[in-house]
Amino acid sequence: MLTFPPAFLVGHLPARPHDPARPHVTVTWAQSLDAKIAGPGGARVILSGPESMEMTHWLRTMHDAILVGINTIIMDDPRLKIQLVPQDDPSLLPPQPLILDPQLRFPLSARILSEWNKYRGSRELRDDRILRDSRDVPDARGPAVVRQPWIVCGDTVPPERREEVERAGARVVPTQLDGSGRISPNALPAILSSLGLGSVMIEGGSRILSSFLHAPSRADGSPLVDSVIVTVAPMFIGEGVGVVPEGEDRGLPPLRTIHTETMGKDAVMLCALR
Ligand SMILES: NC(=O)c1ccc[n+]([C@@H]2O[C@H](COP(=O)([O-])OP(=O)(O)OC[C@H]3O[C@@H](n4cnc5c(N)ncnc54)[C@H](O)[C@@H]3O)[C@@H](O)[C@H]2O)c1
Ligand SMILES: Nc1nc(=O)c(N)c(NC[C@H](O)[C@H](O)[C@H](O)COP(=O)(O)O)[nH]1
């Protein structure tokens, strides 16, 4: 079990309490030696060993929100929970899942939604009250808490579709899309602030990593991305999904390595944008 946070991360993780006016943005992923994050056709590959995976779950607890793109939900069906941190520490909380999904393609069969509905059902039985979303659980503490998935979509998505997804148990947050039909990375801090979230850990996939790494600075001149934490696993994937999609490897920002830590078989690099 790790002592967390490891010394090399101190000062590079979101401060607590967060500054709600300037949410901290961490971008993180796990990659092979040939810079792939998934196998052919996007098939999920377990890259992280137990030690670096545990660190990932610790990192999740250090952020208010965890963000993935809709393709990652469709391909990996992740839970985005913190089951690898000590389960008896009530101060550790799972982050709020946020999914960037311009067209609201979110599959109602997603594990993240069924786990929330199961949790909500069990709390209703216990508490005899209806939980509409995770903000209705003020007394809930600890890693076993499950949070409602919040989906950020385009404000052009028809109301009937939004209602369908909300009836199924998720929260839908409509927002203006950029000229490419995406949620602009630079719009994220304001979205986070409006949702009361002071920090976010962006976990992928490839298109999301690319757009956040390419994003211009914030209005105050500071980089949009505050920290980059990469797990490098000693394996080759060959054909597969790159850290950024093919053709998007130009114009990536220079990174400054702050520290590289060996965690089990993996190297974990902490970098900042210069
Ligand atoms: N190894 C890792 O750490 C890791 C982590 C997560 C995902 N993955 C892998 O990544 C793959 C999925 O990556 P992907 O690129 O296909 O999809 P993705 O998960 O990055 O989602 C992309 C979609 O998000 C939406 N989107 C909204 N705003 C956006 C923005 N600003 N920029 C980009 N997209 C935006 C678009 O609809 C876009 O198609 C899967 O194969 C998964 O296994 C690996
Ligand atoms: N850190 C990390 N190491 C990996 O080897 C790997 N494949 C991912 N990929 C991120 C992936 O898209 C999922 O988010 C989670 O790995 C799924 O795990 P959970 O159900 O959330 O615990 N991330």
Q: How confident is the model at residue 77 (pLDDT cuts 50, 70, 90)?
A: very high
Q: Whose structure tokens read 């209705």? A: 136
Looking at residue 90, what is its pLDDT? 86
Q: Could you tell me the pTM of the whole model?
A: 0.96
| DSSP-assigned letters across all residues of the chain | ---SS-GGGTTTSPPSS--TTS-EEEEEEEE-TTSEEE-GGG-----S-HHHHHHHHHHHHTSSEEEEEHHHHHHH------TTS-TT-TT--PPEEEEE-TT----TT-HHHHHHHHHHHHHHHHHSS---SGGG-TT--STT-----EEEEETTS-HHHHHHHHHTT-EEEEE---TTSS--GGGHHHHHHHTT--EEEEEE-HHHHHHHHHPPPPTTSS-S--EEEEEE-S----SSEESS-TT--SSPPPEEEEEEEEETTEEEEEEEE-
Ligand 1 atom at minimum distance from 28 CA: 3
Does residue 75 have its Cβ closer than 6 Å to ligand 2?
no
% of residues, the chain, pLDDT over 70 = 98
pLDDT band of residue 204 (cuts 50, 70, 90) is: very high
CATH architecture group of domain 7-273: 3-Layer(aba) Sandwich (3.40)
Is the C-beta atom of 32 inside 6 A of ligand 2? no
Cα–ligand 2 centroid distance for 78 (angstroms): 7
ipTM (interface pTM): 0.98
| Domain residue limits, the chain | 7-273
State the distance from the centre of ligand 1 to the C-alpha of 106, rounded, in angstroms: 13
pLDDT of residue 183 exceeding 90: yes
More confident residue, 135 or 13: 13
User: Which CA distances in Å does 213 have to 47, 68, 72, 199, 230?
Assistant: 21, 14, 17, 17, 13
Residue 129 in this model has a pLDDT that exceeds 80? no
Cα within 13 Å of Cα(127), Cβ side: 14
**pLDDT value of position 2:** 65
Radius of gyration for the chain, computed over Cα atoms and rounded to the nearest angstrom: 18
Which-ligand-closest: CA of 50? 2
Name residues contacting ligand 1 (CB within 6 A). 29-30, 37-38, 42, 44, 47, 68-72, 75-76, 100, 102, 182-183, 185, 203-208, 211, 241
